[in-house]
C-alpha cells in the first residue's frame, strides 16, 4: 500500500510515522515548507516526497491541512488523484469540507471521505509528531455513502496501520455538532479561564485540577480560529448553554445559597456519572 500525507505537522507527521511502522506501506509526504520534507526524509518518517507525478500511485491520500488549505489542495489536484484510491482530509470540522469535496470528487472521478483523527497535543509541528499518537485513539469518518459495507470496510482497512481504536461513522452535521462540545468548547473554556488575573500567581497553589483545565489553553490560534468559526452555529449553541449554567452557579454563590449551590454541584456530579459511568 502507498500512502500520501499532505502536511507534515503534528497530525500529518504522526500519521506518516504511524504508517511507516508497517514495512508493507510506502509513505510519501509533502509540506509547504521544503525543509520539513527534508527533515522527515532524514528522520525516516517518509520514504519519499509526494509529488504531482506520484500522487496517482497512492491508495490513500491523507490531507492534514487547515480546512481552507485542504480544499485548495483538492481543487488544485482534483485530476491528479488515483481513480481507485481514497482521498481523506483530517480537519477538525467536516460540514464545510464535505459539502465542497463530495461534489468535486464526483466531478473529477476520485473518492473522498471526510476524516477526523481524534488525538493531538497542545504542541504543533513535525518535531512533536510521534508514531504512537493514534494508537487506540478514536477516528471519525464521514463517507459519501452509508449503504456500502464493503466500501466502509475498505476504508477501515486502509486506516488500520495507523493504530486507531474505535472508528465511528457519522454525518458531517452530526460530527460538527458533537465536536463543538467535546473539543472546541474545551479549548475556548480553557483559554478563557487562564486569563484570570489570579493565574499569574498560581505557582505553589495549583495541582491536577489546574493542569487538567488549562492544558489546551496552549493552542494554535490560527487553526482554532478557523475551526471554531467554520462551526460557529454549533459553538454558539454550546456557549449559550454553558453561560446559562455559569449564571446559575454565580447566582447561588452571590445569594450565599448553600442548598442551591449544592444542588447544582450534585446535578453536575450525577450528570458526569450518567454520561461516563
User: The sheet that has 86-89: what strands, in order across it?
Assistant: 48-49, 26-30, 2-6, 60-63, 86-89, 111-117, 139-142, 167-169
Q: Which domain holds residue 219?
A: 175-276
Q: Are strands 139-142 and 86-89 parallel, antiparallel or unpaired?
A: unpaired
Same domain, 12 and 132: yes
What's the CA gap between 167 and 163, in Å, rounded?
11
Give the CATH number of the domain where residue 161 resides: 3.40.50.720
Same domain, 124 and 182: no
Residues of the chain with pLDDT under 70: none
Same domain, 94 and 179: no
Sign of CA dihedral 148, 149, 153, 154: negative
DSSP for 38-73, please give it.
HHHHHHTS-SEE--TTTGGG-SEEEE-S-HHHHHHH
> Which residue, of 140, 170, 200, is where some domain finishes?
170
> pLDDT (tens digit, 9 = 90+) per residue, 156-195?
999 999 999 999 999 999 999 999 999 999 999 999 999 9
Q: DSSP character for 8?
A: -
Q: Which residue has the cell 442551591?
A: 260
The answer to whether 102 and 144 have CB atoms below 8 angstroms apart is: yes
Give the CATH number of the domain where residue 204 resides: 1.10.3660.10
Same domain, 118 and 8: yes
Same domain, 29 and 51: yes
Sign of CA dihedral 246, 185, 99, 68: positive
**Cell of residue 221, nine digits:** 490560534
248: exposed, middle or buried (Cβ count in 10 Å: 0-12, 13-18, 19+): middle
What is residue 118's predicted lDDT score, i.e. its pLDDT?
Answer: 93
> Which residue, of 170, 203, 234, is where some domain finishes?
170
234: exposed, middle or buried (Cβ count in 10 Å: 0-12, 13-18, 19+): buried
What is residue 122's predicted lDDT score, i.e. its pLDDT?
Answer: 74
What is residue 70's predicted lDDT score, i.e. its pLDDT?
Answer: 97
What is residue 156's predicted lDDT score, i.e. its pLDDT?
Answer: 97
> Which residue, of 144, 170, 196, is where some domain finishes?
170
> pLDDT (tens digit, 9 = 90+) per residue, 211-252?
999 999 999 999 999 999 999 999 999 999 999 999 999 999
Q: How many domains does the chain have?
A: 2
What's the CA gap between 41 and 47, in Å, rounded?
6
State the pTM of this model.
Answer: 0.90
What's the CA gap between 188 and 53, in Å, rounded?
42
What's the CA gap between 139 and 36, in Å, rounded?
26
The answer to whether 194 and 166 have CB atoms below 8 angstroms apart is: no
3-state secondary structure of 169: strand
Start-end of H helices in 132-257: 149-159, 172-179, 185-193, 208-214, 221-230, 232-254
Amino acid at each position: 500500500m502507498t500512502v500520501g500525507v499532505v502536511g507534515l505537522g503534528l497530525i500529518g507527521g504522526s500519521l506518516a510515522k504511524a504508517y511507516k511502522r508497517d514495512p508493507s506501506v510506502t509513505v510519501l509526504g509533502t509540506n509547504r515548507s521544503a525543509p520539513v520534507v527534508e527533515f522527515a526524509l532524514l528522520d525516516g518518517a517518509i520514504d519519499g516526497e509526494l509529488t504531482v507525478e506520484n500522487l496517482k500511485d497512492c491508495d490513500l491520500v491523507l490531507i492534514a491541512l487547515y480546512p481552507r488549505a485542504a480544499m485548495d489542495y483538492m481543487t488544485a489536484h482534483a485530476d491528479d488523484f488515483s481513480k481507485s484510491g481514497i482521498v481523506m482530509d483530517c480537519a477538525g470540522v467536516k460540514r464545510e469540507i464535505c459539502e465542497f469535496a463530495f461534489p468535486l470528487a464526483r466531478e473529477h472521478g476520485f473518492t473522498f471521505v471526510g476524516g477526523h483523527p481524534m488525538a493531538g497535543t497542545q504542541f504543533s509541528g513535525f518535531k512533536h509528531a510521534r508514531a504512537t499518537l493514534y494508537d487506540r485513539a478514536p477516528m471519525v469518518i464521514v463517507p459519501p455513502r452509508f449503504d456500502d459495507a464493503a466500501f466502509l470496510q475498505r476504508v477501515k482497512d486502509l486506516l488500520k496501520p495507523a493504530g486507531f481504536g474505535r472508528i465511528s461513522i457519522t454525518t458531517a452535521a452530526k460530527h460538527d455538532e458533537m465536536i463543538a462540545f467535546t473539543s472546541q468548547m474545551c479549548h475556548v473554556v480553557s483559554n478563557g479561564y487562564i486569563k484570570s488575573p489570579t493565574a499569574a500567581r498560581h505557582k505553589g497553589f495549583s495541582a491536577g485540577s489546574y493542569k487538567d483545565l488549562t492544558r489546551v489553553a496552549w493552542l494554535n490560534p490560527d487553526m482554532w480560529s478557523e475551526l471554531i468559526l467554520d462551526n460557529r452555529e454549533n459553538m454558539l449553541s454550546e456557549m449559550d448553554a454553558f453561560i446559562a449554567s455559569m449564571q446559575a452557579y454565580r447566582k447561588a454563590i452571590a445569594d450565599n445559597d448553600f442548598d442551591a449551590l449544592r444542588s447544582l454541584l450534585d446535578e453536575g456530579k450525577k450528570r458526569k456519572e450518567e454520561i461516563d459511568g
